[in-house]
A and B are shown apart, each in its own frame.
Chain A
Amino acid sequence: MADPDQSDIGGEPKLRFRNDEPHEEPAVTLDSFLGQSNATAVRLESDEDARALLPHIDRLALVEVAFPKFRDGRGYSAGRILREAGYTGELRAQGDVLVDQIPLMLRCGFDSFAPEASVDAKTLAEALSRYTAVYQKAADARRPVWALRHG
């Protein structure tokens, strides 16, 4: 896993697990994205359907998914749905994103984070390295335990 780039570029994203340059264009709402043929960055609210983006995946470079409360887990499904459809651009989790949630979000395909509260770098590093094995196949490259067991 790449080291997160913690440099604070324009206030967000605060944590980035990608090597490409951050996307310049600001994210627009889903409605305006669907109404414009040239937008390349979109923000998805937690009650919006990620599948609405699937016909436009090729022109998308940034999808920002809102997490209004840490308890609201809809964005985890949104992330996976986009990755399962082949989206390779930046997938950002923004909002009430807690340090203990970041490892799960990475597994759901998120690769950049804009948490509202500050994230302690040491706690995050520990959280990211803690679990050496995972039980499920998800949107990341990790091989589940059942695959390791049966080589």
Chain B
Amino acid sequence: MYKYDEYDQAIVDARVEEFRDQVRRRLAGEISEDQFKPLRLMNGLYLQLHAYMLRVAIPYGTLNATQMRMLAHVARKYDKGYGHFTTRQNIQYNWIKLDEAPDILAELATVEMHAIQTSGNCIRNISSDQFAGAAADEVEDPRPWAELLRQWSTFHPEFTYLPRKFKIAVIGAEEDRAAVKLHDIGLQLHRNDAGEVGFRVFVGGGMGRTPMVAPVIRDFLPKADFLSYMEACLRVYNRYGRRDNIYKARIKILVHEIGAAEYARQVEEEWAHVKTLGLDAPAAEFERIAAFFAPPAFETGLSDTIDRSDPDFAVWLDQNVSAHKAPGYAVVTISLKPTGGIPGDATADQIDLMADLAERYSLDELRITHAQNVVLPHVRKADLYAVWQALDASGLAAPNLDLIGDIIACPGLDYCALANARSIPLAQKISQRFAATQHDLGELKLKISGCINACGHHHAGHIGILGVDRKGVENYQLLLGGSAAEDASLGRITGPGFDEDGVVDAIERAVDTYRSLRTEGERFLDTYRRVGMAPFKEAIYG
């Protein structure tokens, strides 16, 4: 894992002092809420329905046990004893007091954490593959590049007042676990025909009210030119992205309006100039960062055999444990989606427990996933049973990774000031309704957003649900056929919306249709793609 040096620490510490001063000026009445708003937003502090919400960055979703314990401590001391992991691999606290926010940032800084650029129209926290450095299908670990991007984007003088927020994801595998094509910029490390590793660059994906799957604007970007190329991509956007309409200000609209080829041409032209300015960090800097992500000292000669005699353990093993690149090791995903629970929520005690397990069994590493789960990336197969027992005793062993119960849901009307409808109670109902049948249904990604802003990624759900306001009543639209993976696609609306119970019934009719039509090995999404919307629509409304 990356470790701060004196420069990194000085920058984060300075930010704490800056924010403390800004809060002081606000509390003393020296600045108005209007003037304060852009300042607090740059520090991830939102004013929500009931209280302030603080979003803490977990860069590329990677953290160690000490940092995880700090998250538990913040939950206990400054919130109501829990935190909410988000679809951007961050954590949010929903019950924060303004005057305590600077103290929280100061405590976070002691463990090399911050809330820098977790909101505002700037380059947000960089996201990545939660299996980075562990995945069996990886070309190269993407995290050193993500860290380089984190540093480059932190207080970037030219790109702090972009037309709109800007999200970048980096992966290093063929399987896309980070939804790169639904980001403003998605970067995928891959090997070209000459055997060199470089980036495939996707630009202009996103959700929101105009969802788009990002086109490739450059198939192979040499590593050495990485930052200058990013600089060119951002400069074209900063200069020509729309600023007349907040709903058309994301880069996806620019790329869509002028076309991917024209955007790519403008970037190449800008890059030809920018490349000459010496903005790229030297190779030595990349190597310095990469050394922190060198593979940990995996033990050798470990057995791959796992005792499956406990049937409950075997179910979890088959569902939540993935292949690791080192023999004798496995990747564990801890589902934060217990039946009837709030997706992504964890109590302070649970966070502490996960930290303990990481320290003891996972080489002191944890990851947060965009599906709002937690990963122990390096667990010896021999320890899996002990890990499962500890998780099970704390309500963290839901064996439902990628099943219908593994719901992504935004905070919705229970917390969010922009919401049209509640997401959480609906997620709880769906999770209860399908608890018994979810294993038979297989991989089925269900995603819920409480309004058109799509924080719950409903466009990219195999089944998506969008909360809307229909004459003052909460109403839910149902979408089918979306995907955030390497086969990215956008869901289509089935037809008229439903009330809360109605949408759960409609989902049941949709999955029954799948069950009757599926062929051997077909996922819900595959069947939908093969047979189309018609049979589902008929079953739902017929």
Q: Is the CB of A133 within 8 A of B158?
A: no
A29 at the B interface (CB under 8 A): no
A100 at the B interface (CB under 8 A): yes
Q: Is the CB of B5 within 8 A of A149?
A: yes
**Chain B binding surface SS class:** helix
Q: Is the CB of A148 within 8 A of B158?
A: no
Count of chain B residues with a beta carbon within 8 Å of a chain A beta carbon: 40
B-contact 0/1 string along A106-142, CB 8 Å cutoff: 0110000000000000010011001111111110000
Query: Nearest chain-B residue to A78 (Cβ)?
Result: B239
Known: A137-B278, A145-B151. A73 touches B161 (CB 8 A): yes
Query: Nearest chain-A residue to B42 (Cβ)?
Result: A100
B17 at the A interface (CB under 8 A): yes
Q: Which residues of B contact A150 (CB under 8 A)?
A: 282, 284-285, 288
Count of chain A residues with a beta carbon within 8 Å of a chain B beta carbon: 35
Among B5, B17, B160, point to the contact of A73 (Cβ < 8 A).
B160
Q: Is the CB of A108 within 8 A of B158?
A: yes
Q: Is the CB of B239 within 8 A of A136?
A: no
Q: Is the CB of B152 within 8 A of A136?
A: yes
Q: Which residues of B contact A132 (CB under 8 A)?
A: 10, 14
Q: Which residues of A contact B158 (CB under 8 A)?
A: 73, 76-77, 80, 104, 108, 138
A72 at the B interface (CB under 8 A): yes
Give the shortest distance, in Å, between A107 (CB) and chain B (any CB): 4
A-contact 0/1 string along B1-40, CB 8 Å cutoff: 0000101101100100110011001000000000100110
Give the shortest distance, in Å, between A116 (CB) and chain B (any CB): 13
Q: Is the CB of A145 within 8 A of B243?
A: no
Give the shortest distance, in Å, between B145 (CB) and chain A (any CB): 14
Give the shortest distance, in Å, between A112 (CB) and chain B (any CB): 17
Q: Is the CB of A104 within 8 A of B157?
A: yes
Give the shortest distance, in Å, between B12 (CB) and chain A (any CB): 10
A103 to B162 Cα, complex, angstroms = 17
A107 to B161 Cα, complex, angstroms = 14
Q: Which residues of B contact A103 (CB under 8 A)?
A: 157
Q: Is the CB of A71 within 8 A of B156?
A: no
A52 to B243 Cα, complex, angstroms = 21
B-contact 0/1 string along A92-106, CB 8 Å cutoff: 000000101101110
Give the shortest distance, in Å, between B127 (CB) and chain A (any CB): 19
Q: Is the CB of A146 within 8 A of B14?
A: no
Q: Which residues of A contact B7 (CB under 8 A)?
A: 133, 145, 148-149
Q: Is the CB of A76 within 8 A of B281?
A: no
Known: A126-B21, A149-B285, A149-B288. A135 touches B11 (CB 8 A): yes
A74 at the B interface (CB under 8 A): yes
A136 to B279 Cα, complex, angstroms = 7
- In B447-485, the 8 Å CB interface with A consists of none
Among B35, B151, B288, point to the contact of A135 (Cβ < 8 A).
B151
A69 to B158 Cα, complex, angstroms = 16
Q: Is the CB of B288 within 8 A of A76?
A: no
- In A56-82, the 8 Å CB interface with B consists of 70-74, 76-77, 80
A-contact 0/1 string along B142-174, CB 8 Å cutoff: 000000000110111111111100000000000
B238 at the A interface (CB under 8 A): yes
Q: Is the CB of A135 within 8 A of B238?
A: no
Give the shortest distance, in Å, between A75 (CB) and chain B (any CB): 9
- In B232-264, the 8 Å CB interface with A consists of 235, 238-239, 243
Give the shortest distance, in Å, between A124 (CB) and chain B (any CB): 12
Among A108, A134, A137, point to the contact of B277 (Cβ < 8 A).
A137
Give the shortest distance, in Å, between B9 (CB) and chain A (any CB): 10
A84 at the B interface (CB under 8 A): yes
A71 to B163 Cα, complex, angstroms = 8
A80 to B21 Cα, complex, angstroms = 29
- Among A73, A80, A123, A144, residue most surrounded by chain B Cβ atoms (within 10 Å): A73
Give the shortest distance, in Å, between A71 (CB) and chain B (any CB): 6
Q: Is the CB of B238 within 8 A of A77?
A: yes
Q: Which residues of A contact B278 (CB under 8 A)?
A: 137
B308 at the A interface (CB under 8 A): no
Q: Which residues of A contact B288 (CB under 8 A)?
A: 149-150
Among B14, B162, B281, point to the contact of A131 (Cβ < 8 A).
B14
A143 to B38 Cα, complex, angstroms = 28
Q: Is the CB of B285 within 8 A of A130?
A: no
Q: Which residues of B contact A148 (CB under 8 A)?
A: 7
B121 at the A interface (CB under 8 A): yes
B209 at the A interface (CB under 8 A): no
Q: Which residues of B contact A71 (CB under 8 A)?
A: 38, 121, 161, 243
Q: Is the CB of B10 within 8 A of A133?
A: yes
Query: Nearest chain-A residue to B157 (Cβ)?
Result: A107
Q: Which residues of B contact A138 (CB under 8 A)?
A: 157-158
A136 to B158 Cα, complex, angstroms = 10
B273 at the A interface (CB under 8 A): yes
A103 to B14 Cα, complex, angstroms = 14
Known: A70-B161, A77-B238. A134 touches B243 (CB 8 A): no
- Among A76, A77, A103, A135, residue most surrounded by chain B Cβ atoms (within 10 Å): A135
Give the shortest distance, in Å, between A136 (CB) and chain B (any CB): 6
In the complex, besides A71-B161, A136-B156, 11 extra interface pairs with C-beta distance below 8 angstroms are A104-B155, A105-B157, A107-B157, A131-B14, A135-B151, A135-B155, A148-B7, A149-B5, A150-B282, A150-B284, A150-B285
A-B contact pairs, 13 of them (CB 8 A): A72-B243, A73-B238, A126-B21, A130-B17, A132-B10, A133-B10, A135-B152, A135-B155, A136-B279, A145-B151, A146-B282, A149-B5, A150-B288
**What is B's interface to A at a CB cutoff of 8 Å?**
5, 7-8, 10-11, 14, 17-18, 21-22, 25, 35, 38-39, 121, 151-152, 154-163, 235, 238-239, 243, 273, 277-279, 281-282, 284-285, 288
Which 9 A-B pairs give the minimum distances between C-beta atoms?
Answer: A73-B161, A107-B157, A146-B281, A146-B285, A104-B157, A145-B7, A133-B7, A135-B151, A76-B158
